[in-house]
Structure formats: structure tokens, C-alpha cells
A = this chain, B = another copy of it.
């Protein structure tokens, strides 16, 4: 492919993903269709299908292309402060348009589309897990975590309550909630002796 043709193809990919996001925000994900996306992007339906096999996989690429910011952890030496900062960045993203409602639609689609579920895990969840686990490992080595704690489990305990609010009760993810979750997870629910 010449540089010129490659650039045109990139522009078209960009326009199709933009159209999918715009339509999902305007009319809701359930009304999204490949036909409508093609029409909005000014391309033929087959141009879309050449690259994406389903509405779900197009939407996945489009949503993930929006999130250019890293959700990685800093290492200031204080594990609670560093987790807190990363969680705050994550909930700021989840709690606001456009990413919040689009990401919610994407997780919804993953519940009945195994291809989207696998790609979401591979491309978005796994890299974040690896980053969190690396930060937790340093903390464990530095004596800031119980020496026998399973780090993958710790990641699930930290993420679970945020996703539970985001997807199930849809209650707000406030800074105060983050503080409470971290305090309870670090201290434990048992009475102190």
C-alpha cells in the first residue's frame, strides 16, 4: 500500500469509529447498527464489514481508541496513596461522558458477545491488572502489604466494589467511597484485638 492509500484508509477507519461513538451517544447503543454507522461515516456497509465482523467488535475498537490516558500507578512509596490516585482517575473516567456511558455499553455488549468479552479482557483489563499487580508486588516487598496476600486477589478486591456500583447499583463513585473501600480493605472487617 502506498503512503497515500494507507493514510486514506486510516482516515476512513477513524471516521467509522467516530460515527459509531456519535450514534451510540445520540440514540443509545441498542439502536446502533452497521448500516447506520456506514451511512453516517459516508462509506458503504461492506467497507465496515471488511474490517469489523460485528457491531460489537467495531464498538470495542471505537471505545478503546478514546482512552488515550494511561491508568497506570505511580510509585511514591505509599501504596494506599498510589492506589487512591489511580482509582480516582479510573472513576473520573467511568463517571463522566463520553467514556462512562460508552464503556458501560461496551461491558453490556460483552455479556452476550464472547468475542467482545475476550477482547475487552485482553486489551483493557489484563494490562491494567498487570500494572496494579506490579505496584502491589513492590508494596508487599516493602512490607506495606501482608506477606501472604495473593496479589491478583487483591486486585479483584480493589476493582470489584467499583464495578459493582458502576454496573449493578449504579450508585455514584465518590472520592469518599474510594477512601472507605481502601480503609476497609486494608484494615479488614474483623474486630481489632
Listed stretches A7-15, A90-98, A106-114; interface member = A106-114
Q: A164-B163, A189-B145 are in contact. Are A181 and B169 (CB under 8 A)?
A: no
Do A191 and B153 touch across chains, with their CB atoms under 8 A apart? no
How many of A's residues come within 8 Å of B, CB to CB? 49
User: A46 within 8 Å of B by Cβ?
Assistant: no
User: A127 within 8 Å of B by Cβ?
Assistant: no
Q: Which of B164, B188, B189, B190 contacts A160 (CB 8 A)?
A: B164
Majority SS at the chain A contact face: helix
A126 CB to nearest chain B CB (Å): 9
User: A78 within 8 Å of B by Cβ?
Assistant: no
Do A109 and B107 touch across chains, with their CB atoms under 8 A apart? no
Known: A156-B169, A156-B181, A157-B161. 5 other contacts (CB 8 A): A121-B168, A146-B188, A150-B180, A157-B157, A157-B181
Which A-B residue pairs are the 6 nearest by beta carbons? A188-B188, A160-B160, A108-B111, A160-B161, A160-B164, A108-B108
